[in-house]
Amino acid sequence: MILVVTAVAAEAEAIRAGADPDHVTVEAVGVGPAAAAAGTARLLATGRFEAVVSAGIAGGFVGRAPVGAVVVGARSIAADLGAETPDGFLTVDELGFGTSVLESDPELVRSLTTTLPGAVLGDIVTLSTVTGTAATAERLAARYPQAVAEAMEGFGVAVAAAGLPFAELRSISNPVGPRDRAAWRLKEAFAALSTASAAVWKTCG
């Protein structure tokens, strides 16, 4: 049984629309890395699950993942976990306090990308504060050249997985950068998530 966790109910409903309930359990666990980690850990404590996937909608980095695309995370990165300095941002890795980068399970990623040949593969950054300016988007894109999308839960779910196979699956609703709600394509992103769900759980479930 695979556990698929989302931030909010609307994302969970989009996943359930395509998921096989005999092989997949879908739950909304809350917004942000802390809520995601706590909610995922609680569900995994039941011992019912063999793998966990963080799924939902996301912002896509311009030129890397267009609106409407489906992305698969090769790594989940806690992009704002670290310290500001006069010379720029230092990650917890650079500070010597742990790691801000967690690898997705190679076999699970291979299953997802094989089943979704049009998906964009790359890093997905996890942020507690969604990017809202062009300047921040440019800094993130430069700091993480392999990042294709940003969301708010993946790293937390990856931490809670604690050795279980983990991956992150997202559909892109808007570009990373200035918040222009009128330009968001939520309906299309949810539809893409449902379509991806219907395809992947036949293989991964």
b/e map of 113-136 (b: 16 or more CB within 10 Å)? bebbeebbbbbbbbbeeebeeeeb
- Amino acid letter for position 7: A
Whole-number percent of the chain with pLDDT over 70: 98
Query: Residue 203: what pLDDT?
Result: 54
DSSP 7: S
CA separation for the pair 82, 75 (Å, rounded): 18
Average pLDDT of span 107-120:
94
Can you give the CATH number for the domain in which 63 is found?
3.40.50.1580
Mean pLDDT for all residues in the chain: 94
pLDDT digit string, tens, across residues 115-170 = 999 999 999 999 999 999 999 999 999 999 999 999 999 999 999 999 899 999 99
Say how many domains are in the chain. 1
Q: Which of 34-38, 76-80, 119-123, 182-186 has the lowest mean pLDDT?
A: 182-186
pLDDT interval class at 202 (50, 70, 90):
low
Average pLDDT of span 94-104:
95
CA separation for the pair 106, 88 (Å, rounded): 32
Q: What's the domain range around 19?
A: 2-204
- Amino acid letter for position 165: P
pLDDT digit string, tens, across residues 12-28 = 999 999 888 888 999 99
Query: Residue 204: what pLDDT?
Result: 57
Average pLDDT of span 165-186:
92
